[in-house]
């Protein structure tokens, strides 16, 4: 029996003799490489944090002690050591989440999969412990990449305020977030890593600490003071200590004994301490260790030996079409620049960076700054394109509203992974953008239905110089092109199923194929329909209101939350235009959806052709008196399943 299978919780881990821990670390890496290459998931970050996680669970008593993970995709080893070793359905329906999950385990305190937030949680938890007089320790694990986010520094500013409030901050420094960490912080940490005199001192210090028993704060202060004096002489003044935070490190994050020693020192100090651990992303899997493009940060199912995908892509993705068109636009428009928040490769800007290296800015995990900086670029006479995942624009709403829209600046936001993303779970579904952005005055929002429309609407967006524009598209491969029969105003008519259609199906972006399928199914139920793509969903095109007036019922279909989405905006525009036609809005239920594939979730919430047809037929039966209505029981086959809670 392997050591790993004997570990059902941290107590089992603490009983292992120290000499067996390297064997356990090797077993964990073998397990991760085998399991994650089968299912897909975050491979590189977890291979790099094996020894550090082992040390954390040997020094601290989870869940009594609170261990917080920022960002949560580095918590796979934590799952293994807390009794969750069935990775066969990782990130799939009814399987383990790819992030900490409160529903899975009491060891998971926060479901944190947006970066730079764990320190804020930790600050609040430590304050609560102090007021309640508990003996719990609080530990926050944060990567150097997440330290590029402003929220982390807001938290550090408050954490440093109270020197008698216990809190351990473990900086997992692998020089990368998704890609290589950028900015002044990265340079500072690099200096700490590479100062030779300091490294010699660390070697001496490690031996001294091992000889010195832990007797509390006085000894710690003495050792720490000696180290600080050496650092002042031989290395740049540590910014953490300038903030008033005690600092231990840098420590080899793959030396379990050294990490345990440092964590025990920090645990006994009685105040806020930073433990700086150096790790290697992808450790133990040579392809991941040697990869500079971070292809192994998160992987789809691959062959672990050849690293080739198990199911190769058969077509272009939405992201790749955007990336190629950006290069062309950049060639045509020397004023167009691009901004990304530590996601150059995932959002498709790598080709733009290669073609126009002087016009690309990676600001790190700092979406608020990305948007404010874009406002400055636009004020300076350029047209910035800010490319982020849709879910991450939530963090920069105030900057979109007050720094861009208020100033009527031409900034284009490209939202990748909009709508249902699926496997990454609730925090990554991009289902909020079309609701949140509806309230921004002057903002224009496009939802392309296919690759051709993505190219066309992206060019339309960057042509706007006096207002923010948004282009949003889903995750995954493109489907076939969806041609239009005609364009009325700015609205594309995609299909008419009868000479005098009764139902207007408003297909928002990637929902066009489902609506076309639904229209065909509705014919069998005795209803005729017109399918339109509004293209620009904000503001609502007057032509769409006029089309609504020609029908007996309107159904909007969007991969966005129903509350305040496109359906609500169309209904308001119809009321304002005096069009008294019944409208029903179909979209994503306003709830946090658990992880499953995109297709499974769309089916469950009724956003497939059969689901849209079923719901539309049910509405029509009530709203269209005198219509033929569903025939017999055939409509039953189109009824969507009840969404999972």
Report d(CA 167, CA 147) in Å as an integer: 17
Mean of the pLDDT values across residues 612-626? 89
The C-alpha atoms of residue 164 and residue 74 are separated, in whole angstroms, by: 29
Question: CA 345 to CA 353: how far, in whole Å?
Answer: 10
How many angstroms from the chain centroid is the CA of residue 626?
49
Summarize the annotated binding site as residue ranges: 73, 113-115, 144-146, 174, 285, 367
522 vs 624: CA distance, rounded Å? 14
Candidate from 255-259, 362-366, 437-441, 622-626 with smallest mean pLDDT: 622-626
Average pLDDT over residues 102-117: 87
| 436 backbone dihedrals φ, ψ, rounded to 5° | -60, -40
Q: What is the mean pLDDT of residues 285-307?
A: 82
pLDDT for 181-223, tens place per residue? Answer: 555 555 555 555 555 444 544 554 555 555 554 444 555 455 4
d(CA 68, CA 110): 7
pLDDT at 505: 98
Banded pLDDT at 291 (limits 50, 70, 90)? confident
Position 643 confidence tier, pLDDT thresholds 50, 70, 90: very low
- Residues contacting residue 306 through CB under 8 Å, at least 6 positions apart: none
Rg (CA), the chain: 27
pLDDT top residue among 505 and 71: 505
In the chain, CATH 3.40.50.970 covers 3-286, 318-472
Using one digit for the tens of pLDDT, what is the confidence trace for 416-427?
999 998 888 788
| Half-sphere exposure in the Cβ direction for 53 (13 Å, CA) | 24
pLDDT of residue 76 exceeding 80, the answer is yes
d(CA 83, CA 7): 7
Q: What are phi and psi of 343, to 5 degrees?
A: -135, 45
Q: Is the pLDDT of residue 626 over 70?
A: no
Residue 455 has pLDDT above 50, yes or no: yes
Residue 410 contacts residue 383 (beta carbons within 8 Å): yes
The rounded Cα 355 to chain-centroid distance in angstroms is 27
Average pLDDT over residues 42-49: 92
**CB hemisphere CA count around 92 (13 angstroms):** 12
CB 282 within 8 A of CB 74: no
Q: What is the C-alpha to C-alpha distance for residues 132 and 138, in angstroms, rounded to an integer? A: 14
Model pLDDT, residue 183: 54
Q: How far apart are CA 483 and CA 358, in angstroms?
A: 37
Which pLDDT score, from 0 to 100, does residue 184 have? 55
In what helix (H) or strand (E) does residue 388 lie, and over which residues does it extend?
Answer: strand 383-389
pLDDT of residue 229: 46
Res. 177: pLDDT tops 60 = no
Asked whether the predicted pLDDT for residue 484 surpasses 90, the reply is: yes
Q: Is 480 helix (H, G, I), strand (E, B) or coil?
A: coil
Q: What does the CA dihedral 149, 74, 592, 8 come to, rounded to 10 degrees?
A: -150
Domain 318-472 adopts which CATH fold? Rossmann fold (3.40.50)
Q: Is it the case that residue 628 has pLDDT exceeding 70?
A: no
Question: 3-286: what fold?
Answer: Rossmann fold (3.40.50)
Give the pLDDT of residue 567: 97
Q: What distance in Å separates the CA atoms of residue 179 and residue 158, rounded to the nearest whole number? A: 29
CA dist 237 and 445 (Å) reads 47
Non-local (6+) Cβ contacts of 180 within 8 A are 186, 292
Write out the binding residues for thiamine diphosphate: 73, 113-115, 145-146, 174, 285, 367
Task: Provide φ and ψ at 98, rounded to 5°.
Answer: -80, 5
Question: Which of 51-60, 192-201, 435-444 is least confident?
Answer: 192-201
Q: DSSP readout, 105-159?
A: -TT------STT-HHHHHHHHHHHHHHHT----EEEEEETTGGGSHHHHHHHHHH
Residues making up the annotated binding site for Mg(2+) are 144, 174
Residues 6 or more apart whose CB falls under 8 angstroms from that of 503 comprise: 522, 527, 528, 529, 530, 551, 552, 553, 554, 555, 616, 620
**Three-class SS string for 19-46?**
HHHHHHHHHHHHHHHHHHHHHCEECHHH
Of 283-292, 319-328, 619-628, the range with the lowest mean pLDDT is 619-628
Domain span(s) for CATH 3.40.50.920 in the chain = 486-638
Mean pLDDT confidence for 328-347: 95
pLDDT category at 259 given cuts 50, 70, 90 is very high
pLDDT of residue 7 exceeding 70: yes
Tokens for 509, please give them. 């972006």
Element (H, E) at 352: helix 350-355
Mean pLDDT over 152-179 rounds to: 86
- The residue count of the chain comes to 645
Per-residue pLDDT at 189: 58
Q: Are strands 383-389 and 412-416 parallel, antiparallel or unpaired?
A: parallel
Distance of alpha carbon 384 from alpha carbon 399, whole angstroms = 14
Place of tokens 């194929």: 513
- Catalytic residue positions, numbered: 281, 367, 395
- Least confident span in 207-211, 292-296, 496-500, 561-565: 207-211
| pLDDT at res. 402 | 97
140 to 25, 51, 61, 257, 279: CA distances (angstroms):
22, 16, 14, 20, 16
Q: For 41, phi and psi rounded to 5 degrees?
A: 150, -170
Contact criterion met (CB below 8 Å) for 495 and 485: yes
How far apart, in Å, are the Cα atoms of 83 and each of 5, 37, 105, 352?
A: 9, 21, 9, 44
- Residue 357 neighbours by CB under 8 Å, 6+ apart: none
User: 398: pLDDT confidence band, cut at 50, 70 and 90?
Assistant: very high
Report the CATH number of the 486-638 domain.
Answer: 3.40.50.920
Task: Tell me what the pLDDT averaged over the chain comes to.
Answer: 87
């Amino acid at each position: 029996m392997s050591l790993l299978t004997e570990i059902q919780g941290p107590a089992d881990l603490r009983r292992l003799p120290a000499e067996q821990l390297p064997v356990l670390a090797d077993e964990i890496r073998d397990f991760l490489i085998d399991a994650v290459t089968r299912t897909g998931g975050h491979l590189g970050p977890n291979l790099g944090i094996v020894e550090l996680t082992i040390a954390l669970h040997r020094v601290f008593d989870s869940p009594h002690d609170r261990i917080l993970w920022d960002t949560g995709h580095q918590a796979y080893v934590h799952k293994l050591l807390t009794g969750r070793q069935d990775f066969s359905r990782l990130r799939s329906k009814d399987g383990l989440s790819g992030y900490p999950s409160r529903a899975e385990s009491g060891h998971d305190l926060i479901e944190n999969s947006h970066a730079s937030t764990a320190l804020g949680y930790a600050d609040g938890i430590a304050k609560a412990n102090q007021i309640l007089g508990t003996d719990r320790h609080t530990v926050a694990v944060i990567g150097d990449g997440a330290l590029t986010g402003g929220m982390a520094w807001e938290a550090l500013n408050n954490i440093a305020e109270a020197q008698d409030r216990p809190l351990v901050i473990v900086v997992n420094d692998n020089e990368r977030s998704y890609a290589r960490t950028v900015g002044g912080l990265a340079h500072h940490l690099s200096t700490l890593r590479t100062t030779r005199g300091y490294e010699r001192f660390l070697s001496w210090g490690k031996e001294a600490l091992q000889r010195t028993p832990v007797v509390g704060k006085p000894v710690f202060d003495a050792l720490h003071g000696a180290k600080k004096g050496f650092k002042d002489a031989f290395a740049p003044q540590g910014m953490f200590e300038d903030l008033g935070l005690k600092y231990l490190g840098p420590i080899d994050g793959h030396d379990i004994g050294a990490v345990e020693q440092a964590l025990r020192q920090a645990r006994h100090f009685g105040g806020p301490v930073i433990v700086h651990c150096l790790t290697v992303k992808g450790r133990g899997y040579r392809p991941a260790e040697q990869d500079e493009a971070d292809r192994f940060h998160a992987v789809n199912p691959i062959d672990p030996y050849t690293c080739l995908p198990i199911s190769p892509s058969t077509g272009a993705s939405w992201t790749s079409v955007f990336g190629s068109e950006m290069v062309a636009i950049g060639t045509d428009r020397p004023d167009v620049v691009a901004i990304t928040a530590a996601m150059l490769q995932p959002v498709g800007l790598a080709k733009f960076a290669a073609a126009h290296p002087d016009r690309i800015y990676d600001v790190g995990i700092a979406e608020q700054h990305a948007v404010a900086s874009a406002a400055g670029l636009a004020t300076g006479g350029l047209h910035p394109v800010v490319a982020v995942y849709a879910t991450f624009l939530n963090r920069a709403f105030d900057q979109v509203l007050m720094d861009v829209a208020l100033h009527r600046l031409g900034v284009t936001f490209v939202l990748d992974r909009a709508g249902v993303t699926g496997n990454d779970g609730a925090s990554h579904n991009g289902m909020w953008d079309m609701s949140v952005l509806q309230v921004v005055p002057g903002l224009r929002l496009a939802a392309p239905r296919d690759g051709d429309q993505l190219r066309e609407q992206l060019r339309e967006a960057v042509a706007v110089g006096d207002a923010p524009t948004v282009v949003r598209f889903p995750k995954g491969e493109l489907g076939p092109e969806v041609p239009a029969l005609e364009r009325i105003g700015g609205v594309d008519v995609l299909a008419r199923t009868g000479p005098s259609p009764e139902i207007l199906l408003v297909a928002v972006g990637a929902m066009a194929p489902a609506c076309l399928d639904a229209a065909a199914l509705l014919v069998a139920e005795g209803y005729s329909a017109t399918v339109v793509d509004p293209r620009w969903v904000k503001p609502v095109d007057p032509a769409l209101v006029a089309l609504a007036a020609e029908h007996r019922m309107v159904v909007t279909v969007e991969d966005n939350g129903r509350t305040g989405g496109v359906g609500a905006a169309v209904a308001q525009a119809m009321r304002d235009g005096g069009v008294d036609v019944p409208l029903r809005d179909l979209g994503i239920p306003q709830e946090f959806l658990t992880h499953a594939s995109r297709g499974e979730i769309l089916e469950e919430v009724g956003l497939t052709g059969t689901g849209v047809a079923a719901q539309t037929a049910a509405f029509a039966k009530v709203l269209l008196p005198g219509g033929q209505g569903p025939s017999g029981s055939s409509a039953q086959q189109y009824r969507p399943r009840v969404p999972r809670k």
